[in-house]
Each structure stands twice: as C-alpha cells, then as structure tokens.
C-alpha cells in the first residue's frame, strides 16, 4: 500500500498517493480539467493530466516529477531556469490557442480581452516544477482564464525576474539587472512580446490587489489571510517600484 504524502501550497493541502495528487476542487475545476486534457491532446505534457474526482469531491491529477520551490533561492537564479520557464509558458500558451472555452465556464479570474490564449493566472516559481535546473511543468491551474499573452507574461516576469522592490524579502538584483532578466525572459518566450510588458506589470498587479480585496470582502478566507499577512501591501510597493524604474527596465530591451 502506497503512503500518502502531504504538501502545503499558498492555499491548499495537496495529498500525493503514488502517481496522483488529490486537491480540493473549485467551481472552476470542470473547465480546468477540459483545459488540462486539451493540453495533453495537443502534445503539451508540462501540466498534470486530469484523473477526475475522488469520493470526497477532491480533484485527482497526475503527479509531475521534480521539485517545486517556493522562493527563487540563489541556485535558481540562473539564465537556464529563466529561459526554460519562458519557453514552457510559450508552449503552454501556444497549446491553448485551439482550446474553446464554453460561455458558461466558471473561471476564478475574470476573462480579459483580447482572449488570445488561456492564461495560467499564477505562473510563478511556486507553481513550477523544476528538474535538473530547468522548468519542466506548471501546476495549480486554479487561476486559469482566457486572456492576452502579455497579461500572463507580466505576472511571470514579476515573479521570475523578479520585479520586486528592495523592501520585498524575495527581491534581488538592481533595476538594471532586473530589466536584463525581464528582457531575457521575453526573448526566450519569443515573438510577440517586448518592452510593453513592463507597463503591463503594474496593471496586472493592481488587478490582482483589487480582486483579492473584493474576494476578501465577499468572505474568501484565503484572500483575507493573505491580505492580513501583508501580501497586498507588498504588491502595492512593487507596483511603485516598477513605475519608478520603468525607463531603466524598458531600456534593457534595447541592449
């Protein structure tokens, strides 16, 4: 009999049993499972495969082999990890172009125009499986929603460059270095994204802050807790950081 192994993410307790994980489902789960199945049908395997529900109503997904790191520790601050995360996001987006959401699908995050692709919605190291120093998969599609590529890339560069101010304990690098890492991420992502992503970051973070406050006001416990732990204050400080260094960050795209 295989043992159960427990993982704690930012919101959920996830239990692994052999080759699958069980995680709490949400109203969006049926649509997310269609999306995950579509990815695999398209030949994209950097995401869990849906395996239905257990008797308690939890979703069941395949386990992706590798490590998930909550923070970008110094050994993860490599050009290889940055570029592999970008190409993984590119391949994920490209595989979703042929996905057809249903009008009555319930996505946690609002649909954002133009709906070019499915956004992961939380493409960050803490939702990224790493193997031999390279990003090989994304997990936790709870925040997936239709939207523009740049909207998803904006959050990914915020986390992977990262684009945080010096008061954020996860921040590293000067604004020049952060700009070079944003530009490297976008080059690896490939055609279709440039320096305009720098201006999308504050909008993307502000939308997240507004969404978190709105959900907390409606009684969402996880967002209430994140707000009381200071997450929205950090996002707001980082918005100011990106705005203050906009020209330096954008200049890295000219190098």
Ligand X SMILES: Nc1ncnc2c1ncn2[C@@H]1O[C@H](COP(=O)(O)OP(=O)(O)O)[C@@H](O)[C@H]1O
* Residue 21 touching ligand X (CB under 6 A): yes
* Residue 64 touching ligand X (CB under 6 A): yes
DSSP codes, 177-210? HHHHHHHHHHHHH-TT--THHHHHHHHHHHHHHH
Stretch that binds Mg ion, among 6-14, 70-78, 205-213, 222-230 (CB under 5 A): 6-14
Per the CB < 8 A criterion, the answer to whether 237 and 168 are in contact is: yes
Instruction: Return the structure tokens found at 247.
Output: 């020209």
Count helices and strands in the chain by DSSP H and E runs: 8, 10
Backbone angles phi, psi at 218, to 5 degrees: -85, 5
Name the residue with the smallest CB distance to ligand X.
9
- Largest alpha-carbon pair distance within the chain? 58
Closest separation in Å from C-beta 166 to Mg ion: 26
CA 104 – CA 249 distance, rounded (Å): 39
* Residue 136 touching ligand X (CB under 6 A): no
Residues 136-155 that bind Mg ion (CB under 5 A): 140
* Residue 125 touching ligand X (CB under 6 A): no
Residue number, 40 or 246, with CB nearest to ligand X: 40
Residue number, 9 or 30, with CB nearest to ligand X: 9
* Residue 173 touching Mg ion (CB under 5 A): no
* Residue 127 touching Mg ion (CB under 5 A): yes
* Residue 212 touching ligand X (CB under 6 A): no
Distances (CA, A) of 26 to 109, 112, 183: 12, 20, 35
Binding site for ligand X (CB under 6 A): 7, 9-12, 14, 21, 23, 48, 61, 63-64, 68, 127, 129, 139-140, 142
């Amino acid at each position: 009999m295989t043992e159960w192994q427990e993982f704690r993410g930012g919101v959920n307790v996830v239990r692994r049993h052999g080759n699958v994980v069980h995680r709490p489902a949400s109203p969006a789960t049926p649509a997310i499972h269609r999306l995950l199945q579509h990815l695999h049908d398209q030949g994209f395997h950097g995401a869990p495969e849906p395996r239905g529900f257990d008797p308690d109503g939890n979703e069941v997904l395949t386990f992706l082999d590798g490590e998930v790191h909550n923070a970008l520790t110094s050994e993860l601050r490599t050009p290889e990890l940055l570029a592999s995360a970008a190409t993984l996001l590119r391949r994920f987006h490209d595989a979703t172009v042929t996905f057809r959401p249903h009008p009555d699908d319930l996505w946690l995050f609002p649909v954002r125009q133009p709906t070019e692709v499915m956004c992961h919605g939380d493409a960050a190291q803490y939702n990224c499986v790493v193997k031999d120093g390279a990003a090989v998969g994304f997990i936790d599609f709870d925040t997936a929603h239709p939207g523009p590529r740049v909207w998803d890339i904006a959050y990914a560069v915020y986390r992977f460059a990262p684009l945080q101010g010096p008061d954020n304990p996860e921040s590293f690098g000067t604004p020049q270095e952060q700009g070079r890492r944003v530009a490297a991420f976008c080059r690896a992502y490939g055609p279709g994204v440039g320096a305009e992503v720098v201006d999308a970051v504050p909008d993307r973070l502000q939308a997240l802050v507004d969404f978190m406050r709105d959900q907390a006001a409606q009684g969402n416990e996880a967002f209430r807790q994140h707000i009381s732990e200071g997450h929205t204050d950090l996002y707001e400080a980082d918005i100011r950081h990106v705005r203050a260094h906009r020209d330096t960050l954008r200049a890295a795209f000219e190098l």
